[in-house]
Amino acid sequence: MKTSLRSVVVFILGALFILGLPWFLGKFGISLMNDIGIGALVALGLVLLTGVGGATSFGQAAFVGVAAYTTAYLTTHFDLSAWMGLLAAILITATCALIIGCITLRLGGHFLPLSTIAWGLSISLLFGNMDMLGRNTGITNIPPVSLGNVALLSPLQMYYLIWLLVGLALLFSYYLLRSRAGRVIRSLRGGSVLLASVGEDAFVVRLKLFVTAAVFAALAGWLYAHMNRFVSPSPFDLHASINYLLMAILGGVGFLSGALVGAAGVLISKNYIQDVLPLVSSRGGQLEAIVFSALFILLLHFARGGIMSFVAKRKRVSQQSVTADKKRYQPSGEPPLTERAPLAAGTQVLSVDGVVRRFGGLVAVNNVSFTVTAGEIVGLIGPNGAGKSTMFNLITGVLGKTEGRIHFLGEDVTHKSQRQIARMGVARTFQHVKLRPAMSVLDSVALGANMRGSAGFIRSGLGLNRAEENRILDQAYKQLQRIGLEGSEYTPAGKLPLGLQRILEIARALASDPVLLILDEPAAGLRKHEKEVLATLLRQLKAEGLTILIVEHDMDFVMKLVDRLVVMNFGAKLIEGSPQQVRADKKVQDAYLGGTGE
Ligand code: ADP
Ligand code: MG
């Protein structure tokens, strides 16, 4: 894993700027910077959760509040130190997030935002109605944070603590996104079937991300409580949550630095508006809400990508012309990832026995049986609606079975989940390509090697995954060389033509070191030339000894590739045999060749 030089320079310059800034600021400026830092921590969590992970939360201020009240209560009632308060605040906030995430994250569509609104509303009501939390007056006399004998009492002292934590959170997020865990996070928007194909459970990943964002909010809440030395319910209400979301969106939800820019933008303009509005009207407070809502709507309409996307767009254009073509991946020289032992010739890899699948009254797959042996390429063909995709989904575990048995390497996988089957060595591609368009070609392939690594959120975020990450990227690069795409490592996958995207998906599947590769209609939508390139690649893979099952509609495409064909029609197996036998068969000609002219 290589940290880019530009990022190092930007981070160091940023750190120097933060260190020196107080010399140029008055007391008011420092206080404002403290608020910005606290806001940026919360917004950073939202950039990860909403911007990258695609889950919108209106409940972040409530997490800030839980942490602030936890440390406030423990340090005032039990004389605990602020540091013990920090530990408790993180633990309790993370537990809340875990419980709420378990309940809400499985809900699709608008349920997640709605249920986080409910959580956001109820927490500030709870604070305001509990006697032990001081109801609407809140908790006062919270002790300051102490470092040894030094109590951090002044805004300037807090400034350094706050921005130290902001810097650490930024580093953590930066490393996290550039890791094995990060590739999975960045693939969340690609859907749960994509994640399952690389052995991950989308719900679990989203839950971890939700807890991570809540922990960032907890840091903010702890800082808030010990900076202001008192807490009351209103800074943690729904209104505050919306402000945090606004910060993330203003900065640009896809950019870590957007959290800083957005927090600064919102808080500085808020201050400005608070100064100006009373001059216009005596109802400044109400007007402020209206002005902010209007800004929010304008932003969503005209600048969805936020401020940072404008900065990035400029840069991308300049990079394309100068460096994009020169940039190459440099293999790290770490020992390569361990590979599965090759199978003995003649080992039975897949066996499908009398499988039936019904959709209501329709029998989509009707008592189909066939086998695939190590080193073979088998084609599963048939006209449209024959049941090929259904068969594909049964083998890969996407669909539950109704009758019959499927064995993989002798093990019964009939009732195993998609993830379990993927982990056993069945790699797949998709009929409709599932790549993340903005992810680089190299990262897209590295995602396929996901199951060969183990670094999780914490190890990745702390940068302790370097050796493993290097081995994964080396493996991805090796697969790119294998398919002839080296030289495009840093091109966004979405920029490739469809033919190359298909091939890229094959490379992603190969990166998992599969026993069996299953392709769903790989030739669909390809031009003649692209089909030839694909056929050449598949022949090469066969020569290397890979076992392949191709599910295909295009008969000409598979004829020259496969050892054996299984032909389906109306859900049933019509015939099985060599391409010559199948081509000569009268039933196939009737059902297929004659019928569709393919
Ligand atoms: P193929 O991939 O060979 O074109 P499919 O496996 O997609 O065929 O479909 C086989 C039959 O099952 C078709 O008649 C299709 O309409 C039906 N079918 C497929 N999936 C579903 C589903 N999820 N619900 C209901 N019917 C389905
Ligand atoms: Mg199909």
CA of 32 to the centre of ligand 2 (A): 59
**% residues pLDDT > 90 (the chain):** 44
Q: Band of the pLDDT at 499, cuts 50, 70, 90?
A: confident
Per the CB < 8 A criterion, the answer to whether 561 and 377 are in contact is yes
* Region of poorest pLDDT, from 3-7, 516-520, 562-566: 3-7
**525: phi then psi, degrees, rounded to nearest 5:** 80, 0
Q: Band of the pLDDT at 283, cuts 50, 70, 90?
A: low
- The residue nearest atom 17 of ligand 1, judged by CA position, is 364
Q: What is the tens place of the pLDDT at every residue in 146-155?
A: 888 888 889 9
Of 544, 545, 517, 514, the closest CA to residue 451 belongs to: 514
End-to-end CA distance of the chain: 47
Mean pLDDT of all residues in 493-520 = 91
Tokens 């030339």, residue? 529
Question: How would you write 167-222 as a 3-class SS string?
Answer: HHHHHHHHHHHCCHHHHHHHCHHHCHHHHHHCCCCHHHHHHHHHHHHHHHHHHHHH
Of 339, 331, 337, 338, the closest CA to residue 545 belongs to: 339
Looking at this protein, which amino acid is placed at residue 534? L
Q: What is the DSSP string of 241-296?
A: HHHHHHHHHHH-TT-HHHHHHHHHHHHHHHHHHHHHHHHH-S-HHHHHHHHHHHHH
pLDDT at 204 over 80: yes
- The residue nearest atom 10 of ligand 1, judged by CA position, is 387
Both tokens assigned to 275: 């100064």
Per the CB < 8 A criterion, the answer to whether 488 and 445 are in contact is no
Ligand that comes closest to the CA of residue 385: 1
Per the CB < 8 A criterion, the answer to whether 478 and 415 are in contact is no
pLDDT at 447 over 90: yes
pLDDT at 319 over 60: no
Q: What is the DSSP string of 375-424?
A: T-EEEEE-STTSSHHHHHHHHHTSS--SEEEEEETTEE-TT--HHHHHHH
Q: Closest ligand 1 atom, CA of 360?
A: 25
Q: What is the tens place of the pLDDT at every residue in 468-489?
A: 999 999 999 999 998 888 888 8
Ligand that comes closest to the CA of residue 524: 2
| DSSP strand pairing (348-359 vs 150-151) | unpaired
Give, as one character, the DSSP assignment of residue 344: P
| DSSP strand pairing (516-520 vs 426-428) | parallel
Both tokens assigned to 152: 């951090």
CA–chain centroid gap for 418, Å, is: 18
Both tokens assigned to 384: 């449209």
Show the domains of the chain with their CATH numbers: 27-248 (no CATH), 348-425+514-591 (3.40.50.300)
Q: Closest ligand 1 atom, CA of 384?
A: 4
Both tokens assigned to 150: 């030094």
Is 14 exposed, middle or buried (CB count within 10 Å of its CB: 0-12, 13-18, 19+)?
A: middle
Of 582, 547, 112, the closest CA to residue 372 belongs to: 547
Both tokens assigned to 516: 């069996």
Pairwise pLDDT comparison (276 vs 381), residue with the higher score? 381
Instruction: State pTM to two decimals.
Output: 0.89
Question: On the CB side of 577, how many CA atoms lie within 13 Å of its CA?
Answer: 11
CA of 359 to the centre of ligand 1 (A): 8
Q: Closest ligand 1 atom, CA of 551?
A: 2
pLDDT of residue 321: 40
Is 53 exposed, middle or buried (CB count within 10 Å of its CB: 0-12, 13-18, 19+)?
A: buried
* Region of poorest pLDDT, from 16-30, 252-266, 442-456: 252-266
pLDDT at 250 over 70: yes
Both tokens assigned to 66: 């839980």
Pairwise pLDDT comparison (191 vs 88), residue with the higher score? 88
pLDDT at 595 over 80: no
pLDDT of residue 403: 86
Ligand 1 first shell, C-beta below 6 A: 359, 362, 364, 382, 384-390
Residue to mutate, 362, 394, 395, 398, ligand 1, most ligand atoms under 8 Å from C-beta: 362
CA distances from 306 to 291, 310, 416, 572 (A): 18, 7, 43, 54
Query: Hey, which residues does 151 pair with through a beta bridge?
Result: 146
CA of 597 to the centre of ligand 1 (A): 21
134: left (phi over 0), alpha (psi -120 to 50) or beta: left
Q: How far is residue 218's CA from residue 164's CA, in Å, rounded to a whole number?
A: 15
pLDDT of residue 224: 97
3-class DSSP state of 356: strand
CA of 368 to the centre of ligand 1 (A): 15
Q: How far is residue 177's CA from residue 205's CA, in Å, rounded to a whole number?
A: 13
pLDDT of residue 583: 84
Q: How far is residue 388's CA from residue 381's CA, in Å, rounded to a whole number?
A: 7
pLDDT of residue 314: 53
Mean pLDDT of all residues in 61-76 = 96
- 454-466 burial, b for 16+ CB within 10 Å, e for fewer? ebebebbbebebb
Question: How would you write 447-473 as a 3-class SS string?
Answer: HHHHHHCCCCHHHHHCCCCHHHHHHHH
